[in-house]
Chains A and B, each alone.
Chain A
Amino acid sequence: MSQTKPSENKAAKDASQDRQKRMIAGHFDKLSRAKEEGKKVVYTFVPGNLVELITSLGMLPVLPEINALQSGMRKLSGGFINEAERGGHSEDVCAYVKCDIGMMKKGNIGPTGLPLPEPDLLLLSYTGCFTFMKWFELLKQHYKCPVVMLHVPYQSNGEITEEMRAYVVRQLVDTVIPALEAVAGKKLDPTVLADTLARSREAEHDLVKVWESAKHRPSPIDGYFGGVYYVGPIFSAFRGGEDAVAYYRELRSEVEARMASGEGPVTPDGPSAKERYRLVVEGPPSWTHFFDFWRMFAREGATVVASTYTRVGGLYDGGFRHDPERPLESLADYCLGCYTNLSLPKRVELLERYVREYDADGFMINSVKSCNSFSVGQLLMLRQLEERTGVAGGFVESDLVDPRYFGKANIENRVQSFLQMLDARRQRSAS
């Protein structure tokens, strides 16, 4: 294995990266002024989020998972988790929840250093994760604000049925939209919603082109470590806005330029090493050691060409688009179609598709302690995927934002052993 040190020369930021940074800073700035400006604030979750409904009513969304992962990247999550555990929260449960609660107890300061406003409403989009329900019950106890629940059925048989769609739409009409309107103090304008959804669709189209660029050799993107930046705007507060449209147009153009010139992805240490391995990754990253983890792959020329974590907020490359002609039905399909709302057999099918379509040499599962929705069944998925595709799978364990569960040496050993196994397989098939 090569042992190159990180380059001293960090890569120059792409224009899209700068744009995203400005967008995020602007959003948190707006949030910090929300109360004095009379803006209403809605907390909600990433998978199946209804951000178009929130922003169409002139309200501001806050996504607690994003705050938690940002705290992880800024090395603050460990302290927040300790704070929550001191308050009686079990060491066994999701660290995102504990990080959020710890952050709340410590003053609810957002990632840009500005305070986050308290919620006027908790929009519990109950999609693909049981913990979401308890998370907002815990926040309700603290904030004493209203909660509105959207129960999204699970795709246990691998399909969205008419009954499931109708159930979600009925809840939107009967419960969710009236609750949002009550907080916003105005009625939802269907034209505004349709325009917002049209912008969502446009951005989604460009994001799919970015994902598909990884089919090229070398891949101009890293679809996991780099990919989590690409999904930032579309999974969070910005989908449906002009800023998101501009961001994805710019990103697509940059990626296509890199593809045309035969460049690989940009890594934390500058342009990537020559592409030696093409991987598919299942599972979320470990945010507390995000760059350490990325470097374990990037230094070896291992590029992630597709990942499932980047589909938790929407399976756009499966064909889904928000649709202004079918606003509520497409919002329902969006909620129902998120990756963690798929059955395990469907998840294996998707991974198999990625391995084949992106011509991957292997796949890696990062199994995180905090997320049973992702993690339960992954060892069986590993076996099934190896059998179906014939490519090798690797398995590491860590956590989302609890630094106690990232064993760097152990994980690095496993990653390197996995890549050595891919080399050995190549040599065997060449001989």
Chain B
Amino acid sequence: MSHPHDDPAGAVLARARALCEDMTFAEVRAWKGANPGRLVIGHMPIYSPRPLLEALGCLPIAIHGGGDQLEIIRGDSYFQSYICHIPRSTIELAVSGRLDAFDGMLFPSICDVIRNLGGMWQMLFPEKYSAYLDLPQNFDMAVGGRFYAQELRRIAGELTARGASALDQARLRDAIRDENARRAALRALDEVRVETPWLIRASEAYVAARAGGLMLAREHTALLQELVARVKERDAQPYDNVRVVVTGSFCEQPPLDLIVALEKAGCDIVDDDFMLGLRMIEGDIDEERPSGDLLDALAAAYLERGAATASRYIGAGENGAALLQKVKDCRADGVVFAAASFCDPALLDQPMLEAALGAAGVPFTSFKFAENTGQFQVIREQAGAFSDSVKLWGAA
């Protein structure tokens, strides 16, 4: 890629990256200062209904731990050695005061670690708002949908009691429209990755998507639209790379340099689940509902158009079918499993996904990481060997 100052997309990418790497959350503090009385609500991966938070006048902020940007001083003392890394750095962020501007946190039902982290939050920060978001595993709108809409109403009521705006259907419709526009912008970005991966590297698309967890949907849409326009101005040539899907990194995020290492090893990452939360709803959220209640729209979107992932019950479907479809849709040559160490959802899912890929003849390789991994040589060599073997023989 050309020098950042010559790169048409350099400025927008630099802004996104700076935002992602700022573990002081300076922009959040600035927003809070400019909007006294409004609430900043953090949320853990994977998925939280951000339009609801925006409709209540809150600033939703996605927390993905501290990555490799944060030294863990006290966070380790809360967890045994066999627990993944994201709760350590998230606790570190909080006990070190970096989340002081936050008024509350949502803990979606991903796994037992994030569930119990929510309980720890209740005990450690009793003055802050803390809620567990029990995403339904029953996908019947009359049963799971009803329960989920009640959950959303409960959370809205609790936030209103803490100073958020009251739930209002018109504001919720506006927030859903903003979210749909963001999804359209993300789809446009993803299309560039799939069709012309040499125009935008996955590591660049990653920071652009991740920045969206740190701002309102409307601002993110503008950022993505600018990025897509700018990358199309780039004068770049295709690489002789293999096309891969990376999967398993939907919660704890790999260090940015690890994604870069995969790229340098000869992989065009044409799809991934790094920032799955923002892409969880496949398609638009309804802007009208027969019931007149747009909480039902949020519920229906999650139940009926939620992406298949390890923390979501597959039901009558086959584990691995969605991954195979993704491989087909983006014309990938293979799959890279990149799960965080000790990540129960990803690692328990992986044998089923591998079986599906194996049966379909899709080559794959796998490794584990921690968000603060600093050594990438082994992974780079492994990915390089994988991409070479796929190029040479069509299979790993």
Contact = CB atoms under 8 A, between A and B. Distances in A.
A397 interface: yes
Nearest to B348: A134
B112 A149 contact: no
Contacts of B134: 153-154, 156
B122 A344 contact: yes
B119 A134 contact: no
A380 B118 CA distance: 12
Contact of A93 (B122, B124, B347, B352): B347
Given A134-B344, A134-B348, A163-B150, A348 B123 contact: yes
Contacts of A384: 123
B138 A175 contact: yes
A397 B110 CA distance: 25
Contacts of B389: none
A60 to B, nearest CB: 25
Contacts of B83: 372, 375-376
A145 interface: no
A164 to B, nearest CB: 8
Interface size class of A (residues with CB under 8 A): 35 or more
B313 A149 contact: yes
Contact of B119 (A93, A131, A343): A343
Contacts of A191: none
Contact of B138 (A151, A347, A372, A397): A151
Nearest to B158: A157
A92 B342 contact: yes
Given A92-B342, A130-B311, A343-B119, A372 B351 contact: no
Contacts of A135: 348
B112 A129 contact: yes
Given A90-B347, A367-B80, A376 B123 contact: no
Interface string B350-369: 11101100000000000010
Contacts of A379: 77-80
B78 A134 contact: no
B290 interface: no
Contacts of A26: none
B143 A174 contact: yes
Interface in A170-214: 170-171, 174-175
B112 A130 contact: yes
Nearest to B83: A376
B138 A377 contact: no
B344 A131 contact: yes
A384 B350 CA distance: 37
A167 interface: yes
B116 A344 contact: yes
Given A138-B351, A156-B131, A133 B313 contact: yes
Most B Cβ at <10 Å: residue of A134, A153, A347: A134
B315 interface: yes
Contact of B341 (A92, A149, A170): A92
A31 interface: no
Contacts of A126: 137, 313
Nearest to B134: A153
A376 B112 contact: yes
Given A130-B311, A131-B348, A344-B123, A137 B112 contact: no
Nearest to B153: A163
A134 B310 contact: yes
Nearest to B133: A156
Nearest to B346: A90
A141 interface: yes
Interface in A306-364: 343-345, 347-348
A305 interface: no
A395 to B, nearest CB: 9
Contact of B315 (A97, A149, A170): A149
A414 to B, nearest CB: 14
Contacts of A164: 147
A59 interface: no
A107 interface: no
Interface in A117-147: 124, 126, 129-131, 133-135, 137-138, 141, 147
Nearest to A150: B138
Interface string B44-71: 0000000000000000000000000000
A133 B137 contact: yes
B119 A344 contact: yes
A378 B116 CA distance: 10
Nearest to A340: B112
B326 to A, nearest CB: 18
A151 B347 contact: no
Most B Cβ at <10 Å: residue of A94, A126, A170: A170
Interface string B200-229: 000000000000000000000000000000
B115 interface: yes
A176 B272 CA distance: 35
A88 interface: yes
A217 interface: no
A87 interface: yes
B331 to A, nearest CB: 26
B132 interface: yes
B314 A137 contact: yes
A89 interface: yes
A376 B350 CA distance: 23
A343 B341 CA distance: 25
A40 interface: no
Contacts of B77: 379
Nearest to B147: A167
A373 interface: yes
B42 interface: no
Nearest to B349: A134
B10 interface: no
Contacts of A134: 310, 344-345, 348-349
A343 B144 CA distance: 22
B136 interface: yes
A348 B120 CA distance: 11
A369 interface: yes
B250 to A, nearest CB: 14
Contacts of A141: 319, 352, 355
Closest 6 CB pairs of A and B: A344-B119, A156-B132, A134-B348, A376-B116, A151-B137, A372-B112
16 contacts: A90-B339, A92-B343, A94-B344, A134-B349, A149-B138, A154-B134, A156-B132, A163-B150, A171-B138, A174-B140, A344-B116, A345-B122, A367-B80, A373-B116, A377-B116, A380-B123
Given A90-B368, A174-B140, 10 more contacts: A87-B351, A93-B348, A134-B345, A141-B319, A154-B115, A170-B146, A375-B82, A377-B119, A379-B77, A397-B80
Interface of A: 87-90, 92-94, 97, 124, 126, 129-131, 133-135, 137-138, 141, 147, 149, 151, 153-154, 156-157, 163-164, 167, 170-171, 174-175, 343-345, 347-348, 367, 369, 372-373, 375-380, 384, 397
